A and B are shown apart, each in its own frame.
Chain A
Amino acid sequence: MSDWRNSTPADDWTIDELMIARLAACFADGDQACNGMASFVPVSAFWLARLTHAPDLVWLAGAVGLEPRPDRVPASTLEAPLWRDSIMYVEQYGDFWTFALNGRWLTKFCVGAAQLDRYGNGNNSVIGADYHTPRVRLPGTAGLGDMGSIGKALYYWNPNHNPRSLVEQVDFISCAGYLGGGAERVEAGLEGGPELVVTNLCVLDFHPYTRHMQVASLHPGVTFEQVQEATGFELPAPAGPIPATAVPTVEQVRLIREVIDPDNMRRREFGG
């Protein structure tokens, strides 16, 4: 058992490690977590949580491999090397979505979107005004179009915080956030919704009444002005000093670098 409880803040952490540690803190014993495609940061976060504060966090790799034992983060988060030595292969349509839709399990999802707007609506469908002849065809909604509508807590991660990925209004809603803000989501009959957005600059959450995105903490060395500059909509001015995001500990950094992801797959998500 690693000595993670008494570990002191690292002084050589990198931004990928900070984001992984912050997301890991969102998952606890008793939760079930799953990952999808191109999800090196969430996979590392679930794994880190399991090695430290949440040894009983259940992980369903690729939404198919239950409690896998990969020897490191592989080149794909949706291929068999990730779900090596699983205790069960969950049939994706027959079982995975039954567990997710039931409501008792898989209550938190780590999700990514090409565009995310001020009310936490996500877009992975199209950029441009016309859905049928888009300026850019994005990969598609996959499970996002379900996860936003079935009462889940959504934790967005965005390794490339810029005005193109954080926009005033998404071109197309392929994942339901707080829709037009305020009570709109509730009025549409939807429970749950976006909880946090963890980026390479800061952590954002949503105002409890307006549901507008706001800065919850700044990563060390980042100012509010820098975040505003990198954001495609106006952020609410902070009422007071904004807290700093906790940096990963020496032990967390060691686990990420030596045990979880020695091949640095997580860095592939950055700089896009």
Chain B
Amino acid sequence: MSAEKLSTLEAAAALVRDGDTVAIQNMATQAAPMALVRELIRQGRQDLGVVCLVGGIPVDWLAAAGAMTRLTGAAVSMEQFGLCQRYRKAVEAGAIRVEELSETALNARLGAGARNLPFLPTRGLIGTDLIDVNDNLVMLEDPFGGPSVVACKALVPDVALVHAHKADRFGNIGCEPTALWPDLGIMPKAATTVIVTAEEIVDSEVLRANPDRTVLPGFMVDAVVEAPFGAHPTSFYPRYGYDTALHMEWIGAARDDEAMDRFMANYVTGPAGHAAYLEAVGGAERQTALKAWEQA
């Protein structure tokens, strides 16, 4: 028998402590574990370090809430919705310190963390200023006589937050056919604690029917939580597209403090839980529209 991993958003988010380094699955407007991010903000978590490949709205909300002080990642952008303005202002004010990595350097840092190595090398970044401002990157002579490489120090996030299509109660994670971002491939494997929200908790037999679609084994997952539309307002294919209206509302609100506070109260800190949030953002009607992304 495997251990039960089923949890609640409240209990799972409580595994994250103030000051933790938290790897967050995200790709500009895609696949972010938003239900967990909102719960962290509701619980008033402070001084978080965020690790992401391309951070979007979760990074902007964490910055708006004053919950994060560090970011390690390759980019922060909401793609067609523009830059994350709250994050940007916090960085410009010195309130968030950024460790900017190229994609291969972030992969090398996480890959070394996952495999218990001191570092992994990359050929990226050579010639850029990004090496000079980062103590975790060091030029290294190839011991075999080839050109130099950049040694990227191992990164072990305290926690990885992931949203998935399916999970069983033992923490085995299944995904439906979709573009797979690196978050799933490497972040959870590097992190000490792994928390997964899933669109639905299914019987293990459902995963056994397609074991090639099981992407994370239950033994490395610490908590699973059912959270339908748990990536909203980011997209989660093939189930639903991104919410253009809520992204637009956010970029409007982020322009001034009062509007931002109202937005956060209405959607992030105000609703009592995930179900209340889904009602606040338009309920079943909005969900039906987002599910129809292929017709959009």
Contacts and interface: CB of A to CB of B under 8 A. Distances in A.
Interface of A: 37-38, 62, 64-65, 75-81, 83-84, 89, 91-94, 97, 101, 124-125, 131-150, 172-176, 179, 185, 188-190, 268
B204 to A, nearest CB: 25
A175 B74 CA distance: 13
Contacts of B69: none
A93 B100 contact: no
Given A79-B242, A188-B127, A145 B180 contact: no
A175 B128 contact: yes
B76 A76 contact: no
B136 interface: no
B93 interface: yes
B77 interface: yes
B105 A79 contact: no
Interface in B195-213: none
B80 A145 contact: no
A143 B185 contact: no
A95 to B, nearest CB: 10
Contact of B129 (A136, A138, A174, A188): A174
B237 interface: yes
Nearest to A135: B92
Contacts of B296: 81
A78 B123 contact: no
Interface string B108-129: 0000000000000011111111
Contact of A185 (B101, B127, B235, B241): B127
Interface residues of B, number: 58
A146 B102 contact: yes
Contact of A150 (B98, B124, B130, B179): B124
Contacts of A83: 179
Given A79-B29, A79-B30, A142 B102 contact: yes
B101 to A, nearest CB: 8
B129 to A, nearest CB: 5
Given A133-B92, A143-B74, A91 B180 contact: yes
Given A80-B241, A97-B104, A142-B54, 5 more contacts: A76-B28, A79-B242, A92-B179, A141-B128, A146-B104
Chain A interface helix/strand/loop/mixed: loop
17 contacts: A37-B54, A38-B79, A38-B80, A79-B30, A80-B178, A80-B237, A81-B296, A91-B180, A93-B185, A124-B75, A125-B130, A137-B88, A141-B101, A141-B130, A142-B75, A142-B103, A189-B148
A116 to B, nearest CB: 14
A131 B133 contact: yes
B219 interface: no
B179 A89 contact: yes
Contact of B94 (A78, A133, A185): A133
Q: Which 4 A-B residue pairings sit nearest by Cβ, starting from the closest?
A: A176-B127, A145-B102, A146-B124, A140-B75
Nearest to B235: A79
A62 B180 CA distance: 12
B182 A92 contact: yes
Given A81-B296, A94-B185, A174-B130, A137 B179 contact: no
Contact of B128 (A135, A140, A176): A176
A64 B179 contact: yes
A37 B127 contact: no
Contacts of A125: 100, 129-130
B237 A150 contact: no
Contacts of A173: 127-130
A149 B124 contact: yes
A78 B128 contact: no
B238 interface: yes
A149 B242 contact: no
A226 B31 CA distance: 45
Contacts of B101: 141, 145
A139 B76 contact: yes
